[in-house]
Amino acid sequence: MLNQDHIALSIRNLRTWFHTDQGIARAVDDVSFDVPTGKTLAVVGESGCGKSVTALSILRLVPTPPGRIEGGEILFGGQDLLELPLGEMRAIRGNDISMIFQEPMTSMNPVFRVGGQIMAAIRLHRGLSKDEARREAIALLDRVGIPAPELRVNDYPHHMSGGMLQRVMIALALACGPKVLIADEPTTALDVTIQAQILDLLKTLQKDTGMAIMLITHDLGVVAEVADEVVVMYAGKKVEQAPVNRLFAAPRHPYTQGLFASLPATQQPGARLHTIDGNVPAATDFPRGCRFHPRCPKAMARCRDEEPPFRILEERHGTACWLHAEGGMAP
Ligand code: SF4
């Protein structure tokens, strides 16, 4: 879909399954997409669609067992991360590819000062002296908008608000100048004003550094704010992909259309809030055929038996739905 020179990270036919007592949960099942350099790719879907497992798979942080990456490739800098020895993978994590989470405390140690944690990351990956690392940590805190960084560098995490901590986590993630930043619901726990500030900060940092961002979210408002390209996932599958403007102007998959219809802004005053009927199926029990068929208002007979292939409909816009399979091109 994109010129190879402009791709920071390429996920090819990724399959990550969990082997549970209830059966095999095909959390990510043959998913492919590229994260473009200097751009933001949003991965959207309801909880349980496989978006976070995709992110953990990229960093090889899927808990094993019960999880296992069954197949596919994750191409970064000309190598397949799934083939790397664990030691080399550790060097890539936090250095070339960083991740921030919804809950900053999952990445921070509550008993150490925030500055010390940033300095530890800088020294581990960049071999700077203690003084140099401290100066760098203060500069990073300043860059992510922490006021009086030379004082706040001595704070413990519990001294900071949720928004401040999220900024610290971004500083931590940026400590080694990553080429790719994976942000998993980075603003979900924050109030709307702080959320907007954090999204602005990510955009500014991306402009300054040229890093690629893979943003995982269930929130189409966040997507509209920051994404260049969007992947929509449902039940472990990529069901639609498009540049953000095109997706918002003309979503093609009935699931994507359902997501947009359930946005409050598209409701008439006083109208009942539209939601997609039914529930996301359990990953151990995905239906045959199109996994969305039990909830799809446009389902046809073949949808119950045959899985729709992903097809490109127009430049960089594709979907996996029998309504659009004719005339579409294989990726
Ligand atoms: Fe609906 Fe069929 Fe398209 Fe699936 S393939 S989204 S069931 S119309």
Report the number of distinct structural domains present in the chain: 2
What CATH code is carried by the domain that includes residue 301? 3.40.50.300
What residue numbers bound the domain in which 164 lies?
Answer: 110-176
Those residues with Cβ within 8 angstroms of residue 128's Cβ, 6 or more apart along the chain or in another chain: 122, 136
Same domain, 271 and 169: no
Domain boundary among 145, 176, 207: 176
Q: Please say whether the beta carbons of 241 and 318 come within 8 A.
A: yes
Same domain, 126 and 264: no
Domain boundary among 176, 197, 219: 176
Q: Please say whether the beta carbons of 193 and 187 come within 8 A.
A: no
Same domain, 77 and 126: no
Same domain, 296 and 210: yes
Q: Is the CB of 261 under 6 A from ligand 1?
A: no
Same domain, 90 and 141: no
- The answer to whether position 290 is within a domain reads yes
Q: Is 49 exposed, middle or buried (0-12, 13-18, 19+ CB in 10 A)?
A: buried
Q: What's the rounded Cα separation, in Å, for the pair 206 and 252?
A: 30
Same domain, 171 and 192: no
Q: List C-alpha distances in Å: 19 to 52, 57, 233, 311.
A: 17, 15, 21, 30
Ligand 1 atom with least separation from CA of 255: 6
Same domain, 170 and 189: no
pTM to 2 decimal places:
0.91
Domain boundary among 176, 204, 229: 176
* 184-207 tens-digit pLDDT: 988 887 888 888 888 999 999 999
Residue 54's CB: how many other CB atoms inside 10 A?
A: 28
Q: Is the CB of 293 under 6 A from ligand 1?
A: yes
- Among 239, 295, 296, residue to substitute to test ligand 1 (most atoms within 8 Å of Cβ): 296
- Work out the average pLDDT over 93-121: 88
Q: Is the CB of 321 under 6 A from ligand 1?
A: yes
CA of 31 to the centre of ligand 1 (A): 18
Q: What's the rounded Cα separation, in Å, for the pair 185 and 187?
A: 6
Nearest alpha carbon, ligand 1 atom 5: 321
Q: Please say whether the beta carbons of 76 and 96 come within 8 A.
A: yes
Question: Left if phi > 0, otherwise alpha if psi is -120 to 50, otherwise beta: which for 281?
Answer: beta
* 2-18 tens-digit pLDDT: 456 699 999 999 999 99
* 28-48 tens-digit pLDDT: 999 999 999 999 999 999 888
* 227-248 tens-digit pLDDT: 999 999 999 999 999 999 999 9
pLDDT of residue 104: 74
DSSP assignment letter at 237: E
Q: Which has the closest alpha carbon to 28: 68, 86, 88, 81?
A: 68
- The answer to whether position 331 is within a domain reads no
Same domain, 62 and 23: yes
- The answer to whether position 35 is within a domain reads yes
Q: Which has the closest alpha carbon to 36: 227, 200, 224?
A: 227
- The answer to whether position 31 is within a domain reads yes
Q: Please say whether the beta carbons of 142 and 60 come within 8 A.
A: no
Same domain, 91 and 125: no
CA of 321 to the centre of ligand 1 (A): 5
